[in-house]
Amino acid sequence: MPSPAPSQLPLLDQYGRVGTDLRVSLTDRCNLRCSYCMPAEGLDWLPTPGVLTDDEVVRLITIAVERLGVEQIRFTGGEPLIRRGFAGIVTRTAALKPRPRIAVTTNGLGLDKVAPALAAAGLDRVNVSLDTIRPDTFAVITRRDRLGDVVKGLEAAAAAGLNPVKVNAVLLRGHNEDQAPELLQWCLQRGYELRFIEQMPLDAQHGWSREAMVTADEILASLKLVFDLTQHPDERGSAPAELFLVDGGPATVGVIGSVTRPFCGDCDRVRLTADGQIRNCLFAREESDLRTALRRGADDEEIADRWRAAMWNKRPGHGIDDPSFLQPARPMSAIGG
């Protein structure tokens, strides 16, 4: 039996890691259908009464920041921009003391309309997911012909001062595996910081295979055909991306080898799903239910204690290479990517 989590402490686990980076999923719904994430017909969405209200989300964020030492809040989903109360949640998060850093991971649809309001509400950073700059490839991967809207969203984010704007890309064999250099060139020209992420076994359709995955080594090899890449001098710390200077810098590109170069030993993340479950890892197979405690009137300290206990049992690594590895029951879009 694992020993109990010590109380009156931050989000510590048995391996000495401390959770300071909270990913908050605001919805499991989405307006794209990326093939590596969900099927064309979508998924069985969470029933609305089960989804945390804005007040419940803000209460849990407040406990995380004020009692558990969380320093950064990243909103995600599903697609967080389709959550109606999003700007209000950002405003209330920015009012917390100490003020956390506030970021969002979004597919960029509609960002052109809300970027100024979100910046004014206190949003600091935005990561926009964009896997290709070719409209036809975009339409195949996301199953929607919306590249132009994402580009407008990126431009609006930069204009609103949400800098540096980051772009996340996943490469898929047979679709965009050969497009890494052109995507980097496009981002460099616009001042966006690009990060490639290895595809992970988190798709709802369970279609991931190690053989089909484009590895960090392959991504770097294809970039090096066009660019001179040198290891960034800064310590990687808990940041998952290995950073490289492009053609001597100062521009950079990152590669997140979640599968082949895991960073679990330095992980500082914890996740809250849209229905109020704590996940201590993307690949965790257990969740800890805070929603029930919240709705039966638990006080802040009880919730904080439940949260600490959930983190204490975080496993040392994701174990994708372990023969006993099992994909978690929930897909990425329901966990919060």
Range 95-124, binding ligand SF4 (CB under 6 A): 107
Task: Decide: residue 211, CB within 10 A, 0-12 exposed, 13-18 middle, 19+ buried.
Answer: exposed
Among 162, 170, 241, 251, binds ligand SAM (CB under 6 A): 170
In the chain, DSSP finds a helix count (H) and a strand count (E) of: 10, 14
CB of 7 or CB of 205, closer to ligand SF4: 205
Among 20, 199, 222, 252, binds ligand SAM (CB under 6 A): 199
| Distance from C-alpha of 1 to C-alpha of 26, rounded to nearest angstrom | 33
Strand order of the β-sheet with 72-76 is 229-231, 242-246, 252-256, 193-197, 166-170, 125-129, 101-106, 72-76, 21-25, 269-272, 277-279, 288-289
Q: Which does 76 bind (CB under 5 to 8 A by kind): ligand SAM, ligand SF4, none?
A: ligand SAM
Note whether 79 binds ligand SAM by CB under 6 A: yes
| Site stretch for ligand SF4 (CB under 6 A), options 29-37, 186-194, 219-227, 265-273 | 29-37
Note whether 105 binds ligand SAM by CB under 6 A: yes
| Site stretch for ligand SF4 (CB under 6 A), options 71-79, 183-191, 275-283, 300-308 | 71-79
Note whether 129 binds ligand SAM by CB under 6 A: yes
Range 19-58, binding ligand SAM (CB under 6 A): 30, 36-37
CB of 291 or CB of 330, closer to ligand SAM: 330
| Angle, vertex CA 206, rays to CA 290 and CA 24, nearest 5 | 30
| Distance from C-alpha of 332 to C-alpha of 282, rounded to nearest angstrom | 8
Q: Which does 183 bind (CB under 5 to 8 A by kind): ligand SAM, ligand SF4, none?
A: none
| Site stretch for ligand SF4 (CB under 6 A), options 72-80, 172-180, 191-199, 320-328 | 72-80
- Which contacts qualify for 54-58: CB closer than 8 Å, 24 or more apart? 54/85, 54/88, 54/89, 56/276, 56/291, 56/294, 57/24, 57/26, 57/89, 57/272, 58/89, 58/92, 58/93
CA of 192: how far to CAs of 22, 100, 111, 184, 316, in Å? Answer: 24, 23, 15, 9, 33
Note whether 30 binds ligand SF4 by CB under 6 A: yes
Token representation of residue 64: 């995380």
Residue nearest to ligand SAM (CB): 337
| Distance from C-alpha of 153 to C-alpha of 142, rounded to nearest angstrom | 16
CB 129, min distance to ligand SAM, A: 3
| Site stretch for ligand SF4 (CB under 6 A), options 73-81, 183-191, 272-280, 301-309 | 73-81
Q: For residue 91, how many C-alpha atoms fall within 13 Å in the half-sphere facing its CB?
A: 10
Among 78, 80, 122, 240, binds ligand SF4 (CB under 6 A): 78
Note whether 193 binds ligand SAM by CB under 6 A: no
CB of 59 or CB of 143, closer to ligand SF4: 143
Q: Which residues bind ligand SAM (CB under 6 A)?
A: 30, 36-37, 76-77, 79, 105-107, 129, 168, 170, 197, 199-200, 202-203, 332-333, 337
